[in-house]
Structure 1
Amino acid sequence: MVVATPDTDHDLLAQLLAGELALSSADLKAASQAYDKAMMISNDPEVASKAVALAVAIHDPDAAQRGIDRWQKLGATPAQLAQARAQLAVEQGKTEEARQQLSLLITSGDKDAWRMFGRVLIGSRDPALAGNLLESLATPDHLPADPKAWLAMSELGEQLNRHVYAQQIADGALKRFGTAETYAWAAQLKLNNGDRSGGLNLLRQAQVKDPNNIGLRLTYASLLGQSGQYAQATQLLEKGPQNAQTYALRAALAANAKDDKTLQRVYAQLSQAPDDVRNTSAYLLGQLAEVLGRKEDALKWYDQVPDDDDHAFDSDLRSAILLQDLGRSAEAHQQLAEMQTDYLDQPAQLRRAYEVDADLYLREKRYTEAIDSFTHALQVAPDDPDLLYGRGLAYAEIGKIDPAVSDFRRLLELKPGDIDASNALGFTLADADRDLPEAEQLIAAARAAKPNDPSIADSWGWLQYRLGHLDQAVAVLRSAWQTGKDADVGVHLGEVLWKQGHRNQAQQVFDEVRNMDPQNATLQQTLKRLGT
């Protein structure tokens, strides 16, 4: 027995597969050609419908017309045919033909007629033509007794830059229907046009009409918050149903207002919220617990953030930092090591995991480990300014001046004139008692940019000491010490006073530093060097 097999052009399945494969590769032309063949051998009107859409998408009017004719034979509805013919006319710039077909569409009685009308216009390559058709056909006399249709046409007008039309239709919908949605859209248009007070007034009326509409409350409260009306926004959100978004906005408003009592109330309520809300808000609960000083609770909440949550990475980072704060440094670094493995294929997250690891080592004064972590991060993000700066500081702390200077110089190549880098390089050179003219130039530039910065004043005072200008050094360092009571500034001031012979004053400063930071390494090294 011989089984007849059709050639490819007459094999429906082959053409459909070819069309879908072309679509998956974003090859619209090939997909259109395949569906053009498929519709001629298929009795399915959906195949013809797709052939028409693809032909219009690639701007092939002949193929589109063939598709429309075939679709009509296969039983397309009058509304579908009118929509397709209108799309083709709009594509060809045939205004009157488009107007005629769109008129047939909106009078067809199809329940989706106005949605189909909008699709034709929003897909037009000629916004001016689409706008003219919209204004001439989607008039208050023609629009149905459905507020959604009015709002859709008003929004379409706004998208097509027909702002006057959009406002007229919005006002008409507001007057005719008076629903919360019509108030909200009219408010949005006023806000778009810069009328903040008018928009807020309409939103207030919308919220009164539908007080349990969470979306409206969020929009209204957000705008109140942007205007600095935190108390009014908070009061609005506290009433009515709550979800994860209302709790999040309430927390943000309280944080902006520095209102700790409200933060505590939000935290307490959210902690007792239904499981779905609480689970969705685990990261927010962790943040709130941190702000309120409940570090152990924060760790527990961060641990509950799901792996597929947008905040999963950030929650792990915050957990590592909290672990160190709680004296559990080994666990902190272990968590970061696991993250460095988990995010090997995500450079931005991997870089951040290494950077936080390095920062924690810096806080622990474990400078060699910090250098290793910064170096790993720089392998992921070469020449990253923040990483170069951090590694340069770590090198300087253990007396590796050449690599520290190299990192700071590279940073200044990347960011010429950077204030922090200029100060860091200048101080490192001054502290090493080398290239003092260059150090003076760098620190002077930083000081001119930030004349009241204590760390820069410290660098300038220490430079003056290296230059032998002891009186100037004392004056600058004393001022910086009195301003900020920074331990390292105090150590520098004490050393200069000691060198001037004012040993009692120097000892007083050293004692102050010891009381502030008993384990200060700079103080211990200085006292050993001075023999006291």
Structure 2
Amino acid sequence: MSDQEMTNVPHQIPRLLSLTLLPWLLVACAATGPRDAPEAALAPPSQLDNPGKALASRIGAEFARQDGREADVALELAASARLSDRPELARTALRAAMRARNDAVSTEMLSRWRALAPDDKLVDAYAAAMALGKGKTSDATALITPRQDDPKLPTDMVEALRWLPDLDRILPFLSTLADLSPTAAAAITYSRFADTAKAPEFARDILDSAIERAPEDAILRAYRARLVQESNPELARADLQQAVLLKPDSRELRLSLAAVEDLQGRTDLAARVLEAFPGKDEDVIGVQLAYAAKSEDPALITSACKRLAGLDKPHPSQRLQLLGTCAELAEDAAEAIRVYRQIGKDDAEFVEAQMRIAAVQVQGAQFADSQKTLEQLREAGTLNREELVRTYLLESESAATANDDKLALDALNRGLDALPDDQDLLYARSLRHENVGDIKGAEADLRRLIEIDPENADALNALGYTLADNTKRYQEALSLIEQAMVLKPDDAAILDSMGWVKFHMGELDEAISLLKAAYEKQAEAEIAAHLGEALWQAGREDEARLVWEEAKAQQPEDPALINTLKRYGL
């Protein structure tokens, strides 16, 4: 049985029984009669031939493995290997014995494997690993030194070392191995092994030494960048910049560098890294456009869109989707709609394109056209549930943008008629009810949500906040928000709700502490409005003004902030 076969034994036992043991068992069972017979007349193990005994031992090893009896696994597999001339069985038994720290069986199985496969170079790697496991570093080195120029040695050594349970002896030896085979491939192999073993310092040391030997190796630098991305982001960036200079045509290196730039808050540079990529790689240009849009830099957006439009025609549907996005970013609604309409009904992007058309129509105050687009999309009868929900949500948003609260609610009501108890629609309708002052309607929808999903933290929080903001049922609100906080203890919206209910209950110090924590996590104007109000009521008016001014500079149109400032005459 190969090593892979040994790994998959649980799935193979039924088949093995049916093909090999089942006829024997059936004959034996037929001879025994009822289950309560004095003795089961099964053939004793001594009557099995060697293949049967070997198979029985391998099955016994699997049962021992399932019970966590590693020592018995090694003994059973060794018993099976002794009855077979297959070298892979000796290798499997050797691995189990190494893991179980059974030196005697390990030595025996290594010798048997070597005898059965004298030309298998992997045997020497395992011999070196065993020597290392016994603390005999010089012996281990001597065993593999003859293979130091063999490009397969690093892979073989990692294969052998992973069966040793004592990492404290293995990890320091990796540097010796990397020095013995001073190639980039070897360094990456040994570094990856150390990283997988949760020893990043060893992984890093191996790569540092390799880069000192070969500073112009782009792949080594790229791998070190991946390794240190979280612990040393600036080194990761420097390595990837150097790697891109060394291999400017590598799309993988450019994409990696762009991702690092974006993660470190330099999204404009991420777009520029990809802008400089030669050739007409549509995927790269698509990512470039995403970074350009995120950076909100018109020049970068224009550059990406021009590259996209310059690709060979006819444009496939995926590219048309991106070109439609380009038109939206350029605030050219007519062009966006024209491009999206080129996407055919049989294309995978058709539904999304129609959704974008409806959204563009809303932005252009073409509310009737938007509603018609969505109705036609639903009438086609090809939408899945998620897509259908989105059409009703978008229709409601369209009506709300047109200040038609009745139509906005009607869209959600029709959606819930078609999709009863859909949680997204219920939540949206609860917000719509609250916006028009129907607190009972909002409460009913949120309670239904909680009934469907008692651990819906967002619904618990929304109901608690609604009660705190619109009624005097503060204890009930507090209980709901506490349940939400257990489910999402670090959520900014829930911290804000908890601070807001504490404010209404007159616990100003705790309210301020909670609202500050919420604002630090998410600098939203509505949270700032609450925090400023709590500070003001605590007599800290100057601090309140500073919070409000900061929020107003960032989100001057926020209705909650505007209303709060009006109430305080500011």
What is the TM-score of this pair, normalised by structure 2?
Answer: 0.55
Between the aligned partners of 2:145 and 2:209, the Cα distance in structure 1 is 22
Of 66, 79, 82 in structure 1, the residue corresponding to residue 121 of structure 2 is: 79
Is the counterpart of residue 267 in structure 1 residue 309 in structure 2?
no
1:132 alignment partner in structure 2: 172
Q: Which of the numbers 128, 131, 143 marks the counterpart of 1:104?
A: 143
- CA contact under 8 A between 1:45 and 1:75: conserved in structure 2? yes
Give me the whole-angstrom Cα distance separating, in 1, the residues matched to 2:437 and 2:99: 67
2:184 paired residue number: 147
Q: Encode CA deviations 1:174-218: one digit per residue, 9 max, x unaligned.
A: 43462222343455566555361x544443333222221222222
For structure 1, the 5+ residue unaligned runs are 307-311, 341-351, 431-440, 458-482, 491-532
Partner of 1:70: 112
Q: Does 1:356 align with 2:395?
A: no
> Matches of 2:264 and 2:131 in 1, distance apart?
47
CA distance in 2, matches of 1:54, 1:305: 53
Structure 2 counterpart of 1:95: 135
Post-superposition shift, 1:121?
3.8
Relative distance call for 1:78 and 1:103 in structure 2 (3 A) is farther
CA-to-aligned-CA distance 1:428-460 (integer Å, 9 cap, x gap): 879xxxxxxxxxx97985999799759x99xxx
1:116-515 equivalences under 5 Å are 116-122=156-162, 124-135=164-175, 137-138=176-177, 140=179, 142-144=180-182, 146-157=183-194, 161=199, 163=201, 166-167=204-205, 169-176=207-214, 178-185=216-223, 193-194=231-232, 196=234, 198-230=235-267, 232-239=269-276, 240-271=278-309, 273=311, 287-288=325-326, 290-292=328-330, 293=333, 294-298=336-340, 316=351, 319-320=354-355, 322-323=357-358, 325=361, 326=370, 327-334=372-379, 338-340=383-385, 352-353=386-387, 355-363=389-397, 364=399, 365=407, 367=409, 370-371=412-413, 373-374=415-416, 388-393=426-431, 402-408=440-446, 421=463, 424=466, 445=504
Quote the Cα distance in structure 1 between the aligned partners of 2:56 and 2:339.
57
Deviation at 1:339, TM superposition (A): 0.6
> SS state of the match for residue 212, structure 1?
coil
Structure 1 residues 222 and 366: CA distance shift in structure 2, 3 A = closer
Counterpart Cα distance in 1 of 2:420 and 2:383: 19
Whole-Å separation in 1 of the counterparts to 2:384 and 2:124: 57
> CA contact under 8 A between 2:124 and 2:143: conserved in structure 1?
yes
3-state secondary structure, aligned to 1:138: helix
Following superposition, the deviation at residue 396 of structure 1 comes to 6.8
Count of aligned pairs between the two proteins: 421
| Distance in 2 (alpha carbons) for counterparts of 1:207 and 1:243 | 16
Per-residue deviation at 1:418? 7.5
The 1:117/1:225 distance shift into structure 2, 3 A limit, reads same
Q: Is the 8 A contact 2:320 2:339 kept in 1?
A: no
**Is the contact made by 2:207 and 2:224 (CA closer than 8 Å) also made in structure 1?**
no
Segments of structure 2 that go 5 or more residues without pairing to the other structure are 1-23, 25-44, 362-369, 400-406, 473-499, 506-510, 531-555, 564-570
* Maintained 8 Å contact 1:171/1:186: no
Residue 206 of structure 1 aligns with an amino acid whose one-letter code is A
CA distance in 2, matches of 1:17, 1:302: 62
TM-aligned CA deviation for residue 401 of structure 1: 6.7
Cα separation, 1, equivalents of 2:73 and 2:327: 55
2:317/2:343 contact within 8 Å kept: no
Q: CA distance change for structure 1 residues 187 and 279 in 2, over 3 Å: closer, same or farther?
A: same
The CA distance in 1 between the partners of 2:271 and 2:112, in whole Å, is: 60
* Cα separation, 1, equivalents of 2:156 and 2:262: 39
Partner SS for 2:384: helix
Specify whether residues 276 and 79 from structure 1 end up closer, same or farther in structure 2 by C-alpha distance, changes over 3 A only: farther
SS of corresponding position for 1:205: helix
How far apart in 2 are the matches of 1:32 and 1:277?
A: 61
Coordinate RMSD, CA, aligned:
5.5
How far apart, CA to CA, are the structure 1 residues paired with 2:163 and 2:344? Answer: 45
Between the aligned partners of 2:345 and 2:118, the Cα distance in structure 1 is: 56
Q: Secondary structure at the match of 2:147?
A: coil
Counterparts of 2:124 and 2:169, CA distance in 1: 18
Q: Superposed, which structure 2 residues align to 1:518-529 within 5 Å?
A: none
CA distance in 2, matches of 1:101, 1:83: 9
CA 1:329/1:173 → structure 2, altered by over 3 Å: closer, same or farther? closer
Indicate how the Cα distance of structure 1 residues 452 and 277 shifts in structure 2: closer, same or farther if over 3 A, else same: closer
2:393–2:411 CA contact under 8 A, matched in 1:
no
Q: Aligned partners of 1:61, 1:281: CA distance in 2, in Å? A: 62
- Partners of 1:219 and 1:49 lie apart in 2 by 40
For the Cα contact (< 8 Å) 1:371–1:395, is it kept in 2?
no
Call closer, same or farther: CA 1:56–1:40 in 2, change over 3 Å.
same
Equivalent position of 2:480 in the other structure = none
**Retained in 1: the 8 A contact 2:267–2:292?**
yes
In the superposition, relative to structure 1, how do residues 82 and 453 fare at CA in structure 2: closer, same or farther (>3 Å)?
closer
Q: Which residue of 1 aligns with 2:13?
A: none
Q: How far has the Cα of 1:108 moved from its partner?
A: 3.1
| Conservation of the 8 A alpha-carbon contact between 2:271 and 2:289 | no
Give 1:168 shift. Answer: 6.2
305 and 216 in structure 1: CA distance in 2 versus 1, 3 angstrom threshold:
farther
Question: What is the rounded CA distance, in whole Å, between the counterparts of 1:361 and 1:422 in structure 2?
Answer: 28
CA shift at 1:356, angstroms?
2.2
The one-letter code of the counterpart of 1:221 is A
- Separation (CA, whole Å) in 2 of partners of 1:73 and 1:287: 67
Q: Name the SS for the 2:232 alignment partner.
A: coil
Q: What percentage of residue pairs aligned between the two structures are identical?
A: 16
1:45 aligns with 2:87: yes
Query: If the length of structure 1 is used for normalisation, what is the TM-score?
Result: 0.59
Contact in 1 for aligned 2:78/2:109 (Cα 8 Å): yes
Q: Give yes or no for contact 2:74–2:97 (8 Å, CA) kept in 1.
A: yes
